Amino acid sequence: MSSAALASVSHVVRRYWAVALVVAGWQIWVSAAGLSSIVLPGPLAVLKDFAGDPLSYAEPAGRTFAVALAGLLLGFALGGGLAVLSWSSRILNGLLTPLGLIFTSIPVVTLIPIIARMLGYDVRTVIAIVALICFFPAFVYVGAGLRALPPGSDDLFRVFGGSRRQRFLRLVLPSSIPNLMLAFRLTAPEAVLAAVVAEFLMGTDGLGYMFRKAAGEFDTERALATSLIATITSVACFGLALAAERRVLRRWT
């Protein structure tokens, strides 16, 4: 084996030994205890189920991803928009700041049943729930970003006689971009998880529904494989958001 390959193997081992240990422990425990696959299948059985029919997971995963993305964008548009409004008016800012704080300090997930009841069991409801979950981080982070100007730049714009509009377009809005991207990275995986939970509760569509159906039919292998796909989707969304953030920050700072 070449030294480069050896280095990359040791790189992977250094990062994933703990995850591998947990998965191996799971398999050994299942085999040793002789658990039935309805109670708890081992990771190999789960993988085998997935490998047997990978395409059947693709469609629900795609739906969950699309719904999460739609909700994420909607939540960011509303949250970011309200942050801008609240920046432009001191009174509105004073009114909204404590509300924003209150809603970030309560478990918003518990509102899912209320929204489900209000809007009906529908894919639009899932989007609304994801949007609600993403709304508050977007509002709080973008709001903070609109006030985090580069040092001295505010004085500079005043001395150079920039108008309020120019100050907003050329200074305040660009300053909020790094915070916007940070909020995006933090909420992207949460959006997928929220979508899965909402789908599970309402039984509409996507990975959450697939999981619920499999669990209901005691098809534990399929249920766990669905979880695996949901985890991968969530991690992939985090990775995408992280890559987008790095790209934007390279351009922005």
Partner 1 sequence: MTSARSQSFVLGLIGVSLFLAAWEVIGTYRLAGLTWPPLSTVLAFLSTPARLPLFGRAAAASFTSVAIGYVCGGVGGLVLALASHLIAPVRPGLDRLVAVIHAIPSIALAPLLIVLASADATPPIISGLGVGYIFYVAATSGLATAGASHRDLFAVLGASRLSTALRLDLPSALPAIASAMKLSVPIAFIGAIIGEWFGASRGLGLLIVSAMQNFQIPLLWSAVLITAVASLSMFALFSLFERLVQERMR
Partner 2 sequence: MPEKPAIRIDRVSKTFRLGDGRELTALTDIDLSIASGEFVALLGPSGCGKSTILRLVAALEAATAGRVTIEGRAPAELCQSHRLGVAFQDHALLPWLDIEANVALPFHLAGRPVDGARVRDLIALVGLTGFEKARPRQLSGGMRQRASIARALVLEPEVLLLDEPFGALDAVTRRQMNVELQRIWSRHRITTLLVTHSVDEALFLADRVVVMSGRPGRVILDLPAPFARPRAPSVMREPAFHDLVDQLTEALEPEGAHA
List the one residue from 7, 14, 55, 159 that touches partner 1 (CB under 8 A).
Answer: 14
Interhelix angle 43-52/3-33, nearest 10 degrees = 110
Q: Read off the amino acid at residue 136.
A: F
**Encoding tokens for residue 105?**
């300090």
Asked whether 100 and 143 are in contact (CB, 8 A), the reply is yes
Q: Does residue 252 touch partner 2 according to CB under 8 A?
A: yes
DSSP state of 122: S
C-alpha atoms less than 13 angstroms from C-alpha of 142 in its C-beta half-sphere: 25
Helices (H), 89-122: 90-104, 112-119
| Per-residue DSSP letter, 36 | -
Q: Is 184 in the site for partner 2 (CB under 8 A)?
A: no
Task: Tell me the C-alpha distance between 195 and 191, whole Å.
Answer: 6
Instruction: Compose the 230-249 pattern: x for residues touching partner 1 by CB under 8 A, - for all others.
Output: xx--xx--x-----------
Q: Which of residues 124-183 bind partner 1 (CB under 8 A)?
A: none
Stretch touching partner 1 by CB under 8 A, among 123-131, 160-168, 173-181, 229-237: 229-237
With beta carbons less than 8 A apart as the criterion, state whether 58 and 66 touch: no
Residue 5 found at the interface with partner 1 (CB under 8 A) = no
Minimum CB–partner distance for residue 9 and partner 1 (Å) = 14
- Stretches 17-25, 75-83, 91-99, 160-168: which one binds partner 2 (CB under 8 A)? 160-168
Integer angstrom CA distances of residue 55 from 50, 60, 213, 229? 9, 10, 17, 12
From residue 86 to residue 115, the character string flagging contacts with partner 1 as x (rule: CB under 8 A) and all else as - is -----x--xxxxxx--x-xxxxxxxx-xx-
Residue type for position 214 = A
Nearer to partner 1, 171 or 215 (CB): 215
Positions touching partner 1 (CB under 8 A) are 14-19, 22, 39-40, 91, 94-99, 102, 104-111, 113-114, 116-118, 189, 192-193, 196-197, 200-201, 208, 211, 215, 220, 223-224, 226-227, 230-231, 234-235, 238
Positions touching partner 2 (CB under 8 A) are 150-153, 155-163, 166, 170-171, 174, 177, 251-253
